[in-house]
Amino acid sequence: MAGKKLTCLDCGQLNRVPEEKLAAGPKCGTCGAPLMSGKAVEVDAATLAKAAQNDDVPLVADFWAPWCGPCRMMAPEFSRAAQTLQGRARLVKLNTEEHQAAGMKYGIRGIPTMVEFAGGREVKRQSGAMREPQIVSWIGV
């Protein structure tokens, strides 16, 4: 069966979605959670690692912390970018305060930092707060 692999960000189950249905609000076959919700989803380190390794659509992670002013300033912009890119990319957020080992694993030296994953590997990264049009342009899908 052809399609794009997507990891459910709620239960971690791997799903296969026909490419033409990516923008139509696909749901996880196990738990029913949206797979391409158009929202920036908070994830833990294990879910990020699984999605980064397995997903067939671009996955962009925002590494942030609640005490970081630029991170808080960028949060609504990142959410708007997730809505703009619905069906083309998935945007997730990882709190480096709660998941410090993940920050070290991915070599995060400053926050906010966005990292794009495709094909199981990191393809690019950008540090510093950005506005929604800049985020969408940087992702480029």
Whether 122 is covered by a domain: the verdict is yes
pLDDT at 141: 81
Rounded distance, CA 19 to CA 7, Å?
Answer: 15
Q: What is the pLDDT of residue 1?
A: 52
pLDDT given for residue 119 in this prediction: 87
Q: What is the pLDDT of residue 53?
A: 96
Pairs from 125-129 (Cβ < 8 Å, separation ≥ 24): 128/70, 129/70, 129/71, 129/73, 129/74, 129/77
* Contact yes or no for 5/15 (Cβ under 8 A): yes
Within a domain: 32: no
Asked if residue 126 is part of any domain, the answer here is: yes
- Beta bridge partner(s), residue 4: 17
Could you say which residues of the chain have pLDDT below 50? none
DSSP readout, 67-92?
T-HHHHHHHHHHHHHHHHTTTT-EEE
Q: Which residues are catalytic?
A: 68, 71
Specify if 14 maps to a domain. Answer: no
CATH code, domain carrying 132? 3.40.30.10
**Is residue 15 domain-resident?**
no
Domain total for the chain? 1
Residue at 12 is within a domain: no
Domain containing 57: what range? 38-139
Inside any domain, residue 121: yes
Q: Is residue 67 part of a domain?
A: yes
